[in-house]
């Protein structure tokens, strides 16, 4: 994994070296192992490297020259899992390195802008073709790896993180208020627009072609098939699933550095550790977070039993109230594309533990619920209104609380647009899955994993979000996704044979972090501090915020968390601050005890 960025000027002049320096410096945490640069004509590309495959010769950029011709250069934030197979198909080409990211450059020379259709992996790739003076940006179909861009009168610029574009002086830090309403109500933002005015996402699966600093074409690879479920019985489906899990986990383990996995003890991570046990001679390194001294479900005991059953080397991480106050400012600062998901907290601490244990790669279970049908909201969305059905995310985090100065009634507009675009060929259950895979998965779960792990110099891999496995899972009959009121039925039946110690037929217990309890313990002193912060004062009613932080309850706790996260994020990225401070005393250190 890496950080990538670049600039194409509209005037034809070389991009300023100071701008490229600033972009590279802003992404250094994503790639502490090295850096590279390509400057030719009006294009400059920079990369910072986290070395995972081909540690000796895999430095970027990769550059090809025809005899006397102009160069073609590639930089990538990527893991191309089928790189060995691609090398086997490109036998007429003499490779310069053993890197997984060199084959895409040769595929571009052979297939042009359609090169990404041959890739199986997670990637954000930039290619400068100086012969025809065009820049090509491509992002993987599920949006596992991030990529952002901005345009102004002088340049087109892109980067792995929006904060790099701001720090390089290419964009002023200003709020896009429509996206802000999404963030405050949904906990994430959707579609192409970000919460930064003037910064946009390259959409999942999208390829952009840029000339003279302007986007001239867009192409897109769909993440999911546009077909209704296939006719498949459980026995055949289980056999196919076993083969596909074996294949995808083996591909996701390809690395020249130590790797491990995050183990929650739930269905998805239990599937991963069972398959990793099959594929590895050495004990699997597994990391679990738990919350002692609270009333939320602590997964460590169950995870410990699962780890023991497979002979894993298991590390338990306790996350307590003191951790909350100490790590929250750091975790919020890592989320430059803001995601107000409280799971950033244990994820951030687990990433640090994996780093301290000497690991550079971690496999995680994101995508299992979305692709195999694990969420109850899919079942509710698929029912008729008369039977208790309701649309997903119908109530916003702050809706009706009177907190916001302006109530943006169209905060669901982005999701509604996605709902309308879903193919009519799909079942109602599939449609709900497809909306989540388009918005929630890339813009919440995968963004959270990317930022929390990359902030700690660790790469996150998500085997369930593999195009081949995803194609199979999405096209399963609905009855193999939900049966006996249990989601992810096929994964459960596979686990019942592969790892019965995981108790796969137990009812799902959602992952919860007790942030509401911790916030409400300090609500009286925290409320006035949050209400006084610049972002809160501008967009919220301070008196209502103060009252809200004195309240108790599940919904109030979620609203309190959302506002606390936003206050920290806004101070970091919009107000030029570093957190909530009073005088010279750091409030969070004081709240930690």
**What pLDDT is attached to residue 510?**
64
Q: Which residue has the tokens 């410096």?
A: 25
For 199, counting Cβ atoms within 10 Å of its Cβ (0-12 exposed, 13-18 middle, 19+ buried), the class is: buried
Residue 435 has pLDDT above 90, yes or no: yes
pLDDT digits (tens, 9 = 90+) for 244-283: 999 999 999 999 999 999 999 899 999 999 999 999 999 9
User: Residues 77-94: what's their mean pLDDT?
Assistant: 95
Q: Is the pLDDT of residue 1 over 70?
A: no
Q: What b-and-e string marks burial along 358-395, b requiring 16 or more CB atoms within 10 Å of the CB?
A: ebbbbbbbbbbbbbbbbbebbbbbbeeeeeeeeebbee
pLDDT of the residue at 587: 63
For residue 285, name the pLDDT band (cuts at 50, 70, 90): very high
Mean confidence (pLDDT) of the chain:
93
Show the tokens assigned to 537. Answer: 């004062």
Lowest mean pLDDT among 180-194, 286-300, 344-358, 476-490: 286-300
- Identify the pLDDT of residue 585: 43
- pLDDT over threshold 90, residue 71: yes
Instruction: Specify whether the CB–CB gap between 101 and 78 falls below 8 A.
Output: yes
Angle at 368 between CA 367 and CA 369, to 5 degrees: 95
Q: Which CATH superfamily is domain 234-502 in?
A: HUPs (3.40.50.620)
Closest CA to 108 of 121, 117, 95: 117
**Cβ atoms of residues 124 and 145 within 8 Å:** yes
Under the banding of pLDDT at 50, 70 and 90, the label for residue 577 is: low
- Mean pLDDT of the region 337-350: 97
Contact 90, 103 (CB under 8 A): yes
Work out whether the CA dihedral 349, 462, 200, 398 comes out positive or negative.
negative
pLDDT number for residue 586: 61
Please tell me the predicted confidence (pLDDT) of residue 147.
98
* pLDDT for res 257: 95
Stated as kind and residue range, the H or E segment containing 121 is: strand 121-129
Tokens 């820049």 map to which residue? 135
Q: Are 252 and 463 contacting, i.e. CB atoms less than 8 angstroms apart?
A: yes
Would the pLDDT of 336 be above 80? yes
Which tens digit of pLDDT belongs to each residue from 215-247?
999 999 999 999 889 999 999 999 999 999 999
Two structure tokens written together for 393:
């995310």
pLDDT at res. 455: 96
The pLDDT value recorded for residue 407 is: 77
Note the pLDDT tens digit of each residue in 344-376. 999 999 999 999 999 999 999 999 999 999 999
CA quadruple 367, 75, 51, 89: dihedral, nearest 10: 80
Which tens digits make up the pLDDT trace of 132-163? Answer: 999 999 999 999 999 999 999 999 999 999 99
pLDDT band with cut points at 50, 70 and 90 for residue 551 = very high
282: Cβ–Cβ under 8 A, 6 or more apart, which residues? none
Tokens for 438, please give them. Answer: 């388009």
Contact 312, 416 (CB under 8 A): no
Has residue 331 got a pLDDT over 50? Answer: yes
If one compares 291 and 433, the residue with the highest pLDDT of the two is 433
Share of the chain above pLDDT 70, in %: 96
DSSP 8-state symbol, 442 = I
Q: What is the pLDDT of residue 30?
A: 96
Q: What is the distance between the alpha carbons of residues 129 and 113, in angstroms, rounded to a whole number? A: 11
- pTM of the predicted structure, to 2 decimals: 0.96
Helix count and strand count (H, E) for the chain? 24, 19
Q: Say if residues 246 and 470 touch (Cβ distance below 8 Å).
A: no
The reported pLDDT for the residue numbered 593 is 52
**Nearest partner of 73 among 131, 25, 22, 28, judged by Cα:** 131
For the beta carbon of residue 420, count every other beta carbon within 10 angstroms: 7
User: For 295-313, what is the mean pLDDT?
Assistant: 90
pLDDT of amino acid 583:
37
2-220 CATH pick, 3.60.9.10, 3.40.50.1820, 3.40.630.30, 3.60.20.10: 3.60.20.10
Q: Are 271 and 365 in contact (CB under 8 A)?
A: yes
Query: Mean pLDDT, to the nearest integer, of 282-296?
Result: 88
Q: Report d(CA 185, CA 545) in Å as an integer.
A: 15
Is residue 512 within 8 A of residue 296, CB to CB? The reply is: yes
Query: Rounded mean pLDDT of 474-488?
Result: 95
Cis peptide before 120 (omega within 30 of 0): no
Distance, in Å, from the CA atom of 253 to the CA atom of 462, rounded to the nearest integer, reads 10
- What are the structural domain ranges in the chain? 2-220, 234-502, 515-591
What does the pLDDT read at residue 265?
84
Q: For residues 21 and 387, which has the higher predicted lDDT (pLDDT)?
A: 21
């Amino acid at each position: 994994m890496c950080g990538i960025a670049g600039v194409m000027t509209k005037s034809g002049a070389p991009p300023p070296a100071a701008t490229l320096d600033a972009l590279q410096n802003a992404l250094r945490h994503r790639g502490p192992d090295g850096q590279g640069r390509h400057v030719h004509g009006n294009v400059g590309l920079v990369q910072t490297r986290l070395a995972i495959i081909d540690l000796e010769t895999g430095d970027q950029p990769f550059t090809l020259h025809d005899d006397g011709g102009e160069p073609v250069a590639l930089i990538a934030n990527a893991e191309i899992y089928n790189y060995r197979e691609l090398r086997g198909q490109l036998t007429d080409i003499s490779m310069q390195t053993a890197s997984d990211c060199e084959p895409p450059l040769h595929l571009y020379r052979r297939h042009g802008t359609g090169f990404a259709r041959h890739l199986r992996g997670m990637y954000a790739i930039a290619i400068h073709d100086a012969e025809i003076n065009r820049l090509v940006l491509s992002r993987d179909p599920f949006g596992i790896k991030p990529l952002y861009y901005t345009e102004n009168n002088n340049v087109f610029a892109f980067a792995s993180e929006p904060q790099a574009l701001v720090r390089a002086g290419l964009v002023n830090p200003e709020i896009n208020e429509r996206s802000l309403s999404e963030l405050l109500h949904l906990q994430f933002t959707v579609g192409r627009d970000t919460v930064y005015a003037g910064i946009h996402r390259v959409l999942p699966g999208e390829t952009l072609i840029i000339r003279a600093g302007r986007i001239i074409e867009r192409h897109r690879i769909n993440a999911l098939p546009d077909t209704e479920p296939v006719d498949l019985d459980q026995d055949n489906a289980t056999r196919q699933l076993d083969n596909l899990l074996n294949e995808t986990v083996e591909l996701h383990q390809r690395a020249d550095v130590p790797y491990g996995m995050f183990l929650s003890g739930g269905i998805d991570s239990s599937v991963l550790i069972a398959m990793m046990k099959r594929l590895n001679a050495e004990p699997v390194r597994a990391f679990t977070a738990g919350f002692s001294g609270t009333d939320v479900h602590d997964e460590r005991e169950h995870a410990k039993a699962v780890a023991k059953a497979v002979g894993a080397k298991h590390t338990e991480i306790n996350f307590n109230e003191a951790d909350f106050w100490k790590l929250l400012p750091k975790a919020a600062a890592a989320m430059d594309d803001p995601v107000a998901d409280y799971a950033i907290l244990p994820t951030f601490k687990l990433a640090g533990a994996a780093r301290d244990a000497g690991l550079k790669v971690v496999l995680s279970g994101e995508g299992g619920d979305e692709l195999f049908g694990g969420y109850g909201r899919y079942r509710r969305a698929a029912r008729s209104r008369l039977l208790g059905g309701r649309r997903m995310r119908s109530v916003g985090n702050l809706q009706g609380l009177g907190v916001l100065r302006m109530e943006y009634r169209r905060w669901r507009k982005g999701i509604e647009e996605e709902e309308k675009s879903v193919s009519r060929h799909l079942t109602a259950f599939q449609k709900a899955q497809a909306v989540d895979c388009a918005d929630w998965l890339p813009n919440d779960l995968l963004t959270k994993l990317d930022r929390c792990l990359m902030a700690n110099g660790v790469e996150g891999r998500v085997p369930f979000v593999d195009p081949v496995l995803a194609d199979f899972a999405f096209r399963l009959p609905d009855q193999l996704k939900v049966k006996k009121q249990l989601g992810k039925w096929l994964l459960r039946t596979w686990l019942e044979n592969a790892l019965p110690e995981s108790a796969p037929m137990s009812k799902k217990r959602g992952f919860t972090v007790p942030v509401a309890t911790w916030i409400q313990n300090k609500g009286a002193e925290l409320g006035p501090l949050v209400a006084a912060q610049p972002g809160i004062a501008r967009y919220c009613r301070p008196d209502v915020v103060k009252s809200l932080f004195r309240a108790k309850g599940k919904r109030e706790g979620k609203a309190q968390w959302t506002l606390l996260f936003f206050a920290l994020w806004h101070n970091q990225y919009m107000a030029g601050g570093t957190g909530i401070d009073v005088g010279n005393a750091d409030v969070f250190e004081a709240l930690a005890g």
